[in-house]
Amino acid sequence: MRNENGFDLWAQDYDKSVGLSEEANSYPFAGYKKVLGEIFNRILAGTGRNILDLGLGTGTLTAKLYEHGCTIWGQDFSKRMLEIAQAKMPDAHLYQGDFSRGLVEELAAQKYDCIVATYTLHHLTDPEKIDFLRTLLSKLRPGGRIYIGDVAFETRSALEACREKSGDIWDDQEAYFVYEEIKQHFANMTFNKFSDCAGVFELWM
């Protein structure tokens, strides 16, 4: 699994390498643009414009929301990813910090209309994801939403089929969402699939 230094090294080529995997329609990034596009549309269909992005990387999603007048807050542990994102969004409030230890103080002190995390929460174990998502639900303003886009599957058997098909490129260090398992922990959660290995979750209080 990559640590912050690994992501620093990936930062310069990140947009290009994701694009190549997306175009090949293969794991892990098959459906990436559809997933980000769906979250973008759902956020702009609502009225809230105060957005927190966790593991925002180079800011591919949030830079578009920023251009549409959203106020962007973000946390990522890679200094280089944050530099690239900040150059795209000079007025965004971006902080360096490892979300496996929670939100940095400045971000924990506020509430948001939407909290997004794309292709990043698979770095947490399933119990860590559940705890973190519960904390994030408490950071939503009334009517707020959490949107997660990631490598994700409706069932454990769909995940196993993708693992088999992907062969050596499957990353055993990452813990992907399985909807039928995680939904048991949340009262309000939906999942929509956008490729054989990706989808969007929506959660609310």
Ligand X SMILES: C[S@@+](CC[C@H](N)C(=O)[O-])C[C@H]1O[C@@H](n2cnc3c(N)ncnc32)[C@H](O)[C@@H]1O
Q: Which of residues 46-65 bind ligand X (CB under 6 A)?
A: 55-57, 60-61
Q: Cβ 71 to ligand X, closest distance in Å? A: 18
Binding mask 7-26 for ligand X (x = CB under 6 A): x-------------------
Positions 97 through 126 that interact with ligand X (CB under 6 A): 98-100, 118-120, 123
Query: By C-beta, is 130 or 205 nearer to ligand X?
Result: 130
Phi-psi label, residue 93: left if phi above 0, alpha if psi -120 to 50, beta otherwise: beta
For helices 32-45 and 14-23, give the axis angle rounded to 10 degrees: 110
Q: Is 83 or 98 the residue whose CB approaches ligand X more closely?
A: 98
Minimum gap (Å) between residue 144 Cβ and ligand X:
19
190 forms part of the interface with ligand X (CB under 6 A): no
Question: Interface residues with ligand X (CB under 6 A)?
Answer: 7, 55-57, 60-61, 76-78, 81, 98-100, 118-120, 123
